[in-house]
Amino acid sequence: MSSTSRESVLSAARRTAQAHGYGGLNFRDLADEVGIKAASIYHHFPSKADLGAAVTRRYWEDTAANLDAMLAETPDPVRCLRRYPDVFRRSLENGNRMCLCSFMAAEYDDLPEAVKKEVQTFADVNVAWLSKVLSAATVVNSGESEPRARAIFAAVAGAQLLARSRSDISLFDALIDSYRVAGLLPV
């Protein structure tokens, strides 16, 4: 029971930030959602910046775990790579939300330093995983896997952003498909 509030705040904040960004987070609404009072959140997180950093850190930790689980489940690197866009697709499925860190990349100028750091780590985690799987798949010349990983990450994030602005998941699917046709993603 004890640490449940903290966890609830964390996951409510995550959901909210995926729809409204860091700026859209506020203690009162968060508290209402969790069922405690706004001031009580300060017991778990000394400031909004701390909450933001904790949420973002948890976000990339979860993502890293998901990606590793996916690779364990689908060891064939080409098939696994094929599933990568699903990670971003799921946010859209979940109420037309988007990647927390893409949103925060937009809000970059207004982010506390600690939050910026976690946002960058999210990108690092994705690029590292993609780079590893690309290498294993040998779809790309060795030494080219990291630039390609970055390109895939950026392009998929862009596809999510555009699809969100139309509330249209099929647009996301079409974009990923076009990336494959064009050769950015392996077929």
Number of residues lying near DNA (CB under 7 A): 24
Phi-psi region of 167 (alpha: psi -120 to 50; beta: other; left: phi over 0): left
Residue 119 binds to a copy of itself (criterion: CB under 8 A): yes
The region of 3-11, 38-46, 71-79, 147-155 touching a copy of itself under the rule CB under 8 A is: 147-155
Cβ(139)–Cβ(186) below 8 Å: yes
| Coil, strand or helix at 187 | coil
Using the rule CB under 8 A, give the single segment among 39-47, 58-66, 74-82, 105-113 that binds a copy of itself: 105-113
Closest CA to 59 of 20, 4, 98: 98
CA distance 97 to 90: 9
Angle between helices 113-137 and 77-93 (to 10 degrees): 140
User: Is residue 121 a contact point for a copy of itself (CB under 8 A)?
Assistant: no
The residues binding a copy of itself (CB under 8 A) are 19-21, 23-24, 96, 98, 101-110, 116, 119-120, 123, 144, 147-148, 150-151, 153-159, 161-162, 164-167, 171, 174-175, 177-179, 181-184
The residues binding DNA (CB under 7 A) are 2-6, 25-29, 31, 35-40, 42-44, 46-49
